[in-house]
Amino acid sequence: MSLFQKHEPVITKAIEALHARTFFAAFAEQPSPANYGETADAEGQTKFNTQLGKKFEDLKQPKSETWGGQEESPYTQELLGVSYPLFSVNTLIENAKKAFTPWRKSSAQDRAGILTESLDRAKKRFFEIAYATMHTTGQGYMMAFQASGPHAADRALEAIAAGYEELNRFPAQAKWDKPMGKFNIQLNKEWRAVPKGISVVIGCSTFPTWNSVTGIYGSLMTGNPVIVKPHPGAILPIAIFVAEIQNVLAENNFDPNCCQLAVDTFDKMITKELAEHPDVKLIDFTGNSAFGSYLEALPGKTVFTEKTGVNSVIIDSVEDGDKAAANLAFSVNLYSGQMCTAPQNFYIPETGIGSPTGKISFDDFAQKFITQINSLANNPKAGPYVLGAVQNKKTRDRVMETEKLPGKVLLKSHAIENPQFKNARTATPVVIELEANKKEIYSKELFGPIALLIKTKNTDQSIDLAQEMAQQHGAISCGAYTTNQVVREKIADAMAMAATPVSFNLTGAIYMNQNAAFSDFHVTGGNPSGNASFTNPEYVTKRFTWVGHREPVK
């Protein structure tokens, strides 16, 4: 049985889910013994701990020039001590070029089978990946497991399914017969999906697998060799994925250099040199807007970006003010606001918010919101695990600086104690009240646990400001609360024109931060927050071109 035959049922279900947009998950998100075995967690933690202070030797990339690594745990604020093989850009490019031809000439079925098998292998290391994610990003255990393990694998499978479907959209060959009266012109025609070339995937420090695997698997599925350039502060989680891809490639007689890990260090980064290399044709990037815009402007490259944005919440009216406040407070607390989908600007009318029991004043809703933030953040059984740790010292400094903004500080940030990690770098949310005319403050992303409550004249102004922020500065998500269907449609239409998806009236265990594979399009590509979307057809079709040949029928 070929690997494609082995995995064809799940690939077929994934393609069906792409069309239906209903719930589908190939990998269980709960790290329970029932899903992964009684000893999986302990074994993963042991394997992670054993790796600390040592060379990562799982890769099939020999003859490295040297070894290096500078990852630091936000929980211990100590170096992990893991080192990785380092290669020059020219070596990485030459390796990719040598691996390219056999891989591009392989069938879509073979690629789909090999890549899906690599996800099956990675599944056995989800717990190891989870601990690696915790100690590079600062995510809490549950998020680290889900986001870097099953949710990332589902996004990768989504890219495989999308690529496989697009590669099979048109026939490989056909007989073309055109009647010309007394005779016919007959041509044999063939079409080839031709990969564009070497792909570079540039990772981020907060979601090193979730944000990278779509580009990795999307490029590999469409026949391109991939060079994975992780953030120097978050290497180990994606290194494990790359190692499993390389293992399956080698077992199936393909060059493991079809997918290479390109590690660099903060003092000697290779990102620009890689991106600007003339043999690099595809670039995937997650990170700040300045660098993303630089990449988008490079000539001769097809670039897929997810950049920074200003995410808004429009509050018009609610069924239950306490439940709405609780949901929003969780969104701000979750991973200390270090998600590209986390809310930042909360637009609240100065006249208050409608509810079944009457108006809730601006001040009263602000107090509900702050109370919910505090009750979660200061709960020793929940706060440390929901907030996690702050990945970057600069993010914590930004939170402190926010308290100096020319607004009213409603809630100051403070550190909380993590019972497992006494030295964890932590910061609870800061909440600032602003007037709507202070655009210079809230028209940029303030990454981290920062919430700005903006007092507007009315809901119409709230909608206008949210739309303006998205159109001019980008937005990846938007939340809205209204019990009025006319207002709901007005919000939906305005934000759709700003290419920003809206989560309406969330009060339960689902938050505007979250995106589901096979259903939600992550980033739309329609505003300044990014030019690509996980995973629409364009995300994979731009990685190859259709080329046709023809000759007369003999």
Query: Averaged over 518-525, what is the pLDDT?
Result: 97
Residue written as tokens 């402190």? 400
- pLDDT tens for 193-224 read 999 999 999 999 999 999 999 999 999 999 99
Structure tokens at 427: 């910061």
CA atoms of 320 and 305, how far apart (whole Å)? 38
In whole numbers, what is the pLDDT of the chain averaged over residues? 97
Cβ–Cβ < 8 Å for 5, 113: yes
Strand partners, 193: 546
Q: How many CB atoms lie within 10 A of CB 12?
A: 12
- Parallel/antiparallel/unpaired status of strands 84-86 and 66-68: antiparallel
Please give the share of the chain, as a percent, with pLDDT higher than 70. Answer: 100
Pick the CATH number of 3-13+84-171+189-306+536-552 from 3.40.630.10, 3.30.379.10, 3.40.605.10, 3.30.465.10: 3.40.605.10
Give the model's confidence band at 65: pLDDT under 50 very low, under 70 low, under 90 confident, else very high.
Answer: confident
Query: Averaged over 174-180, what is the pLDDT?
Result: 96
Give the model's confidence band at 477: pLDDT under 50 very low, under 70 low, under 90 confident, else very high.
Answer: very high
- pLDDT tens for 353-396 read 999 999 999 999 999 999 999 999 999 999 999 999 999 999 99
Cα radius of gyration (the chain): 25
Cβ–Cβ < 8 Å for 14, 157: yes
- pLDDT tens for 2-48 read 999 999 999 999 999 999 999 999 999 999 999 999 999 999 999 99
- Parallel/antiparallel/unpaired status of strands 173-179 and 184-195: antiparallel
- Parallel/antiparallel/unpaired status of strands 312-315 and 478-481: parallel
Please give the share of the chain, as a percent, with pLDDT higher than 90. Answer: 99
Buried b (16+ CB within 10 A) or exposed e, 23-40: ebebbeeebeeeebeeeb
- pLDDT tens for 75-133 read 999 999 999 999 999 999 999 999 999 999 999 999 999 999 999 999 999 999 999 99
Closest CA to 113 of 172, 155, 161, 59: 161
pLDDT score, position 344: 98
The DSSP secondary structure of 141-155, one letter per residue, reads HHHHHHHHTHHHHHH
3-13+84-171+189-306+536-552 and 312-504 have identical folds: no
Q: Where are the domains of the chain?
A: 3-13+84-171+189-306+536-552, 312-504
Closest CA to 96 of 236, 237, 279: 279
pLDDT score, position 456: 98
Q: Does domain 312-504 have CATH number 3.40.309.10?
A: yes
Query: Averaged over 443-466, what is the pLDDT?
Result: 97
